Structure 1
């Protein structure tokens, strides 16, 4: 049995599909991922996957980030028997033609195809079910696609990323579902997976509340909302960058690993960036390393305890933080240490802006912080009889913030309340048990 790789490349929720040309030996004129034969050890086909991506669509190592290697699956067909090794990669590339290359310059390099491919297109993954594809392509996708467990257990990405994955899970399950009840069960699991991350439950609730009571309608709403979520992230970046420019901010302090904050730092191009370490998991170290590599700023890594001194000695003139959730009163739930940063900023007379999409606002009536905690062993792993208080998240009062910047612009407390009421209305889809 021959071993082959099938590579799914994802960008902004869509994946790159390729139509095989007449020059290939099998499955000509059918849609596939980026695929090819395994030339080495089938148990370690990573090199084969990257070779095919480079040769078939011109994506190099620097263009790609490996997300997942899926369990192999067997395919039996008149044209042969194969063991398929599925891979999922993430890329910022989104160009498949000269016109798209010109429009997509800011997202990364273009894809260029070889003679084995007749066409390439970016499409929602569920379109595989409607196209003439190589055998079991949808099954291969499901072997690497996000799951409820991914949403619940991800400790690497920020809430915007995780919320996008939640919509993908709901979309894919809706595509496979035969009835509304099974879709609703998945929605409830996703809604409850990350209690501190309002964007996850809000997006799932919006999909369910605004869809007809059919799986197909939920699938379509998830696709629309996923696209809208990426547009919203772009809008927040623009609004926050403009806010910093209006404030004449050239030295910016931050904490934790917000993807939105990273985009703001890249676009606003400050002269200096100060990043708090973010105890106990120290994810701020990675943010500082990213800023040192991806921006032209002078980057300083500090501890939360040293932030008051950093604001004065390093001439910080603005602070930008992300938000796992925005509370209905205008406060934010974010990584523990955010309140300390805000207090240090207030003492130094420096404005503090939280940046978040509207989907991160908690519905009216939901004011809690959530109970997610981790990294306690990083604080103390000795044998003394003592307890450790090291919460992952905390609430920062609205009085310590100068405001919340959303895709709609600067939001005051009244704006936040209106958004919270809308989210509460969407959450009511499940009031009667779905």
Structure 2
């Protein structure tokens, strides 16, 4: 068990990244999840840390899963850090404490951050959702995507798994396919 964690928060199809303050000892100005020290299995303490640095209240955070601990190099020491995923419907963040800024981004763009904490993208991948590819008839992508969304909402036949689906995507450059992003 590790004694540190990095929390990732999903909101719809985006993930929250926090920018560390310039005056912090480790990785000043780097992009990060929400870093904390403590028992990773004590979710109340983890949520308290998230609220402390983001202003997002416990009632707006839903635990999804935790990944395995990774050894990350911080200066001249190795820290065991556990990635943890939460979902929130709140977009407003008040960056404070260790952080000076934040941004909600497409998870596929995490690796584009030039300066970030070690293995930021890989740790998110340990707790991220899965992408399911559905083959459709060419030209029917939008119709099938709308049908899946309709079945997920209201009293549709997929309503029971609504909380497990993060997004239904139909990229214009992939004719004949739609993508469903869901938890494991």
With normalisation by structure 1, the TM-score equals 0.33
Q: Deviations over 1:196-222 (max 9, x none)?
A: xxxxx25xx58xx79xxxxxxxxxxxx
Aligned to 1:426: 176
Instruction: Report the Cα distance in structure 1 between the residues aligned to 2:79 and 2:86, rounded to whole angstroms.
Output: 22
Note the 1:30-429 alignment, pairs <5 A. 30-38=30-38, 41-42=39-40, 44-95=41-92, 111-131=93-113, 132-147=115-130, 169=131, 190-191=132-133, 201=134, 259-261=152-154, 321-324=155-158, 426=176
Instruction: Report the Cα distance in structure 2 between the residues aligned to 1:116 and 1:78, rounded to whole angstroms.
Output: 17
Instruction: Report the Cα distance in structure 2 between the residues aligned to 1:133 and 1:112, rounded to whole angstroms.
Output: 20
| Closer, same or farther: CA 48–81 of 1 in aligned 2, 3 Å | farther
Instruction: Report the Cα distance in structure 2 between the residues aligned to 1:45 and 1:75, rounded to whole angstroms.
Output: 21
Are the equivalent residues in 1 in contact too, given 2:18–2:95 (CA < 8 A)?
Answer: no
SS at match of 1:112: coil
SS at match of 1:35: strand
SS at match of 1:143: helix
Instruction: Report the Cα distance in structure 2 between the residues aligned to 1:57 and 1:79, rounded to whole angstroms.
Output: 28
Unaligned residue ranges in structure 2 (runs of 5+)? 161-167, 169-174, 178-184
Aligned to 2:17: 17
Are the equivalent residues in 2 in contact too, given 1:26–1:79 (CA < 8 A)?
Answer: no
Which is richer in strand?
2
SS at match of 1:127: helix
Q: Deviations over 1:27-52 (max 9, x none)?
A: 110000111212xx45x242332122
| Closer, same or farther: CA 134–79 of 1 in aligned 2, 3 Å | farther
| Closer, same or farther: CA 51–25 of 1 in aligned 2, 3 Å | farther
- Confirm or deny that 1:28 pairs with 2:11: no
Q: Give aligned pairs, total.
A: 157
Are the equivalent residues in 2 in contact too, given 1:20–1:31 (CA < 8 A)?
Answer: yes
Unaligned residue ranges in structure 1 (runs of 5+)? 96-110, 148-168, 170-189, 192-200, 211-224, 237-257, 262-320, 325-333, 336-358, 360-424, 428-434
CA drift of 1:24 comes to: 2.1
Q: Which of structures 1 and 2 has the bigger CA Rg?
A: 1
